[in-house]
Structure 1
Amino acid sequence: MSQHAEQAAAFVLHSRPYRETSLLVDLFTLEHGRISVVARGARRSGSARRFTLQPFQALHVSWAGRHELKNLSQAEVPQVMAPLVGKALLCGLYANELLQRLLQPADPHPRLYLYYTYLIQELQQSADLEGALRTFERQLLENLGYGIGFSHCHPGCYYQYDTQQGMIEVTADRGCYTGTDLLAIAEDRYETVDVRRAAKRLMREALAPLLGVKPLKSRELFIKTRRTA
């Protein structure tokens, strides 16, 4: 019996060698979420897929298979995308690793897909890298059901983040967040240094319980790159 082929817009998150001539590719798709496919023969000399199945490349793909690991049928490139370099590359690797670690297979997140598309566009243009990354992290938490509630935050008040209760109002203390900064984060306004610092710390606090104790390879690479710069 022939298998029904699925198709979708997708981004490559990661690819690695599989058996002698194939690639194992993790995709983030618009309609189906994260899926893993085998690109058979993609590592053979002369195979165009060797160059198209690269991280951050947008594709139109089709696949078939009844099991979690699918067989890639087609991978068309609607537009060749400029490679990410420098800090933009490190930010992209970090975002891809978050999706690989936190998304369940075949769990659609079309809204998150649009924010990921926005992030990649910002990284390619080397625009507001930090603001785009914080926006993506916040949307990732929202889509996973771990959104940070900001509705009760007020300017002039101070808050601490609790993984179970969210933002808790406290008296002014070292290490707490200001209501002004939190409201700016809620609206993705990262114009000031204070807001950027607060957003980076808050997103790291919120993501830590989901990621567990296993360190992020992209974060280790960023630290190593900064030390050797």
Structure 2
Amino acid sequence: MEWREEAIVLGVRRHGETSVIAEVMTRSRGRHLGIVRGGRSRRQQPVLQPGNTVEAHWRARLDEHMGTFILEPLTLRAASLIESAAALNAVQLAAAHLRLLAERDPHPRLYDGLAVILEHLAEPQTTSALMLRFEIALLEELGFGLDLAQCAATGQTSDLVYVSPKTGRAVSREAGAPWHDKLLPLPAFLAKEGGDEGAAEIAQGFRLTGYFLARNVFEPRGLKEPEARHGLIAALAKDARREAV
């Protein structure tokens, strides 16, 4: 058994004295593991950094075996990660989120979302906004999708400013007014009409997706929120304060 496909490196762990087990995300085969012979060598280490895009060649005697990888570099991103705390945490957070999925289960929408995030690592605010959309897509792929297209009470598609914490459905300003203190704010840029992707709106977005990730995903699995998520939010806040000075 063998296949070749473009992939994004999510992480590695040691295997024996000289090899590693690489974890990559592919578009058609999902999150996939494989042994890289000599993966701890100086030549291989720069290729195996999380966030890199590689050409993956996987081989195994049987499909259910872990198999081996030969990974050839396509795009190396170590420099951009070193320069930005937001970029580093975004890559680590995406990898943590993808580990919530079953291995070898294809999720092309999430692969494409990660690829777009990697293209904007030099833009922390854009990276964070893209990560929020990635988290919304992740919730949907896990079966806990949010309905942000129309008001749960009236069916209207405009002036959506809240989300029900019970149902995950959007609520309009007028319909939600009596219960505004019990509803979650919906940042305009995540609603159908769109809006600014400012620091305050992105912070609201992380509170929104964080609530549903915690309730529906992390807590039922006995998991804590990834440290990289806290790191990304903190890095974004720091950048916002620097720009305000």
Question: TM-score over 0.5 for the alignment?
Answer: yes
Q: Number of aligned residue pairs: give it.
A: 215
Q: Structure 1 CA distance, aligned partners of 2:3 and 2:112?
A: 20
Q: Distance in 2 between matches of 1:110 and 1:61?
A: 16
Give the 3-state SS of the residue equivalent to 1:166 in structure 2: coil
CA distance in 1: counterparts of 2:229 and 2:14, whole angstroms: 23
Residue pair 2:147, 2:169 contacting (<8 A) in 1 also: yes
CA distance, structure 2, for counterparts of residue 223 and residue 150 of structure 1: 23
Matched, 1:210 2:223: no
Residue type of the alignment partner of 2:47: T
Q: Which residue of 2 aligns with 1:80?
A: 76
**Distance in 2 between the 1:89 and 1:19 partners?**
27
Q: Percent identity?
A: 25
Mapped to 2, the partners of 1:186 and 1:67 lie a distance apart of: 42
In 2, Cα distance between equivalents of 1:185 and 1:125: 18
CA offset at residue 62 of structure 1?
1.0
Aligned residue identity for 1:166: G
For each residue in 1:67-109, what CA deviation from the matched residue of structure 2 results, as whole angstroms up to 9, or x when unmatched? 352211x211123334313222112211111112x11111111
Paired with 2:144 and 2:150, the residues of 1 have a C-alpha distance of 17
TM-score normalised to the size of structure 1?
Answer: 0.81
Q: 1:120-149 CA deviation, whole Å, 9 max, x = no partner? A: 111144452321211211122223332101
User: Hey, what's the Cα distance between the residues in 1 that align with 2:33 and 2:203?
Assistant: 35
Which amino acid letter does the alignment assign opposite residue 184 of structure 1?
Answer: F
CA contact (8 A) 2:55 2:74 kept: yes
| C-alpha distance 186-37 of structure 1, shift in aligned 2 (>3 A) | farther
CA-CA distance at 1:61 after TM superposition: 0.4
Of 149, 174, 179 in structure 1, the residue corresponding to residue 181 of structure 2 is: 174
1:26 is the counterpart of 2:26: no
Q: Partners of 2:71 and 2:163 in 1: how far apart? A: 48
Counterpart of 1:78 in 2: which secondary structure?
strand
**Is the 2:161–2:188 Cα contact (8 Å) retained in structure 1?**
no
Where does the alignment leave 5 or more consecutive residues of structure 2 unmatched?
152-157, 237-245
Q: For the residues of structure 2 that align with 1:37 and 1:189, how far apart are their CA atoms?
A: 42
Q: CA deviation at 1:168?
A: 7.0
**Contact residue 158 and residue 172 of structure 1 kept, 8 A:** no
CA RMSD of aligned residues (A): 2.7
Paired residue secondary structure (2:11): strand
TM-score of the aligned structures, taking structure 2 as reference length: 0.76
Corresponding residue for residue 144 of structure 1: 142
Q: Which residue of 1 aligns with 2:203?
A: 197
| Structure-2 residue corresponding to 1:161 | 165
Q: Is the 8 A contact 2:187 2:202 kept in 1?
A: no
Show the counterpart of 1:185: 190
Give 1:217-228 correspondences, 5 Å limit: 217-219=227-229
Q: Which residue of 2 aligns with 1:117?
A: 115
